[in-house]
Amino acid sequence: MTQWSAQFFAAAELARRGYLVSLTLGNAPSADLIVQSPKGTRFTVDVKGQATKNFWLIQKREANPAAHFFILVYLPKSYDPPWYFIVPSDELMKKREEYARKIISRGRPYRDDLGGINWSTAHEYRDKWDCLPP
């Protein structure tokens, strides 16, 4: 239920900020949200949610800095307000690759299908709503 909650929280927060939001439903959509900015720019969003301060599992995908973003949503179990980390896709894919290189350089096994970023890596993107198209 965490993922669904995260998607609805992200959609609600975007709507509150003046964005027009549509949820994509179905098996393995290429994005969780289709969004239009207040000035009319269209883009897509992948939402990742979690209820613990853990590794963010992020699948590799083509970076599209102008048209695709990730919103990572931390939903505290205490029902405190969610935390949002807003990251352009190209930056997140770079961070994902940095993590992979670090693991490999330490001689540890790395599985790309289980790639992502550490919890703390996302912190520089907390509440970075201004990286989205206006």
Our count of domains for the chain comes to 1
Tell me what pLDDT residue 21 has.
98
- Which DSSP state fits 57? E
Structure tokens at 60: 């590799």
Identify the CATH number of the domain in which residue 23 sits. Answer: 3.40.1350
Extract the residue ranges of the chain whose pLDDT is less than 50.
Answer: none
> Hey, how many other C-beta atoms are within 10 angstroms of the C-beta on 67?
13
Residue with tokens 């307000």: 81
Range of the structural domain that residue 21 is part of: 2-131
Residue with tokens 């961070």: 95
What is the per-residue pLDDT across 28-64, written as a single tens digit (0 to 9) for each? Answer: 668 999 999 999 999 999 999 999 999 999 999 887 7
Q: Which residues, 6+ apart, have CB-to-CB distance to 90 below 8 Å?
A: 63, 64, 65
CA distances from 101 to 43, 82, 93, 105, 124 (A): 29, 31, 12, 6, 20
Q: Which residues, 6+ apart, have CB-to-CB distance to 55 below 8 Å?
A: 116, 117, 118, 119
Tell me what pLDDT residue 30 has.
80
